[in-house]
A and B are shown apart, each in its own frame.
Chain A
């Protein structure tokens, strides 16, 4: 028996095998110029945009920067995902902030009153500015996670010296959320078929909640022991430098400098707004 046959590698055509091996030799790519930018640079650029939006305020800069986020997202090919999350946040958080503040902030030019709530011209303007400020700063964070997949972000952190245990915690959390979510849906269906009602009064809903989650959580905790053994068998706890199947493209010096310049520009914008110099 040849070694190829013994490993089962013979079942994969040679060209495919070479392509597979080559894929791991090249740095990771997401097939888009923007998404292939180093995570550190993307972070610096978005922090800078958020700082400019926060420091300039008003009705021009924050909406312009939000529009910029949308353009960047579409250029990066994640426009749809970003837009859904961004609009949801803008409508819910921005909407509640706008409504609550416009009804409670002080002002003299009264538009209308509902009981003790007075909606004035001044309160509407202040509420609009504040809601835009929060939405524009929050948008930067949503865009960061839309542009940089969590795996790439963790790999970048590991390469910059963060311990693999910390990055494992984050990556395993995402996987556990998916697993636990699926498992809880299965248990919910099973409990419903046993006659447990999901609707009705709050105590009944709480009871249904317990009936779904307690077995799911207990099972997940029981599985940690097996996972610990499985990872130990793969030398997860070995006190040596970990190797990686995937690598990131090294960050060019020019981009590093540009990232620092952009970050400093954001800081300068804050300093300028606070000191009223510019």
Chain B
């Protein structure tokens, strides 16, 4: 079709099921955050969908999930909007790590938590420092303020508050992603771009046998 946009051609390469998985991933992010509040957990747990879709469908769909979920969250909390960049990078990293089999073993999955928290904590702290001068109006501001009260200058205080909080958040996040990935039926895995990594029959992460359609998209 001559007037077909690049975006459409790009998404078509990922397979139609990926397009339908993206809204589910966005909803998982938002509902995960809501349930964390409901169960009074002191965690965000709002990037499960981003990492899950990134791991299943590839970095770009994961990035779309992260970006759109952040924009939707920004409807009621507009200060969250600049942090969309973090969510986009979570999606891209999840796709990258998934292709290398990081979510196929429990211990490997745990190794990914510090990687995500480095992005979330370090990049998040940089955004907080540049745009908000160190305080973004979130709960972690109180931790930052207590570091400042203890005599730590504002810049290291923001990093000291953000990185550990993000690590504590990302450990249960990646564990849940691992548990879900292990329970997805093969029938569905064969239809998503990176599903071949998680197929239980005769396939390992190091010797994948990519389905033809999935290969094109996953390599894009």
Give me the interface of A with B, judged by CB distance under 8 Å.
85, 88-89, 92-94, 96-97, 99-101, 103-104, 114-117, 130, 134, 137-139, 141-142, 145, 163, 165-166, 168-170, 172-177, 179-181, 184, 188, 198-199, 202, 205-206, 208-210, 212-214, 216-218, 220-222, 224-225, 227-228, 231-232, 237, 239-240
Q: Contact: A116 with B149, CB < 8 Å?
A: yes
Q: Which residue of A lies closest to B150 (CB)?
A: A116
On chain B, the number of residues with a Cβ less than 8 Å from chain A's Cβ atoms is 70
Interchain Cβ contacts under 8 Å between A and B, 26 examples: A89-B79, A92-B137, A103-B145, A104-B135, A116-B148, A116-B149, A117-B149, A134-B137, A141-B74, A142-B76, A165-B7, A169-B23, A170-B68, A176-B27, A177-B26, A177-B27, A177-B30, A177-B72, A180-B27, A181-B34, A209-B176, A214-B183, A218-B180, A221-B24, A221-B188, A225-B17
Q: Cβ of B52: which chain A residues have Cβ within 8 Å of it?
A: 217
Instruction: Give B contacts to A, CB under 8 Å.
Output: 1, 4-5, 7-8, 11, 16-17, 19-24, 26-28, 30-32, 34-36, 38-42, 45, 48, 52, 64, 68-69, 72, 74-79, 81, 132-139, 141-142, 144-145, 148-151, 154, 172, 175-176, 179-180, 183-185, 187-188, 191
A224–B21 contact, CB under 8 A? yes
Per the bound structure, the CA–CA distance linking A220 and B183 in Å amounts to 13
When the two chains form their complex, are residues A209 and B16 in contact, meaning their CB atoms are under 8 A apart?
Answer: no
Contacts of A85 in B (CB 8 A): 76
User: Nearest chain-B residue to A137 (Cβ)?
Assistant: B78
**Which one of B19, B151, B176, B184 contacts A221 once the chains associate, using CB atoms below 8 Å?**
B184
* CB <8 Å contact, A212 and B35: yes
The reply to whether B72 and A173 form a contact with Cβ atoms under 8 Å apart is yes
| B interface, over-half SS | helix
A104 proximity list for chain B (CB < 8 A): 134-135, 145, 148, 154
Q: Cβ of B27 and Cβ of A209 under 8 Å apart?
A: no
Tell me which of A88, A166, A205, A222 contacts B39 (CB under 8 A). A205
Chain A residues whose C-beta falls within 8 Å of the C-beta of B74 in the assembled complex: 141
Measured between beta carbons, the chain A residues less than 8 angstroms from B23 are 168-169, 172-173, 175-176
Instruction: Find out whether the CB atom of B142 lies under 8 angstroms from the CB atom of A168.
Output: no
Contact A214 B149 (CB under 8 A): no
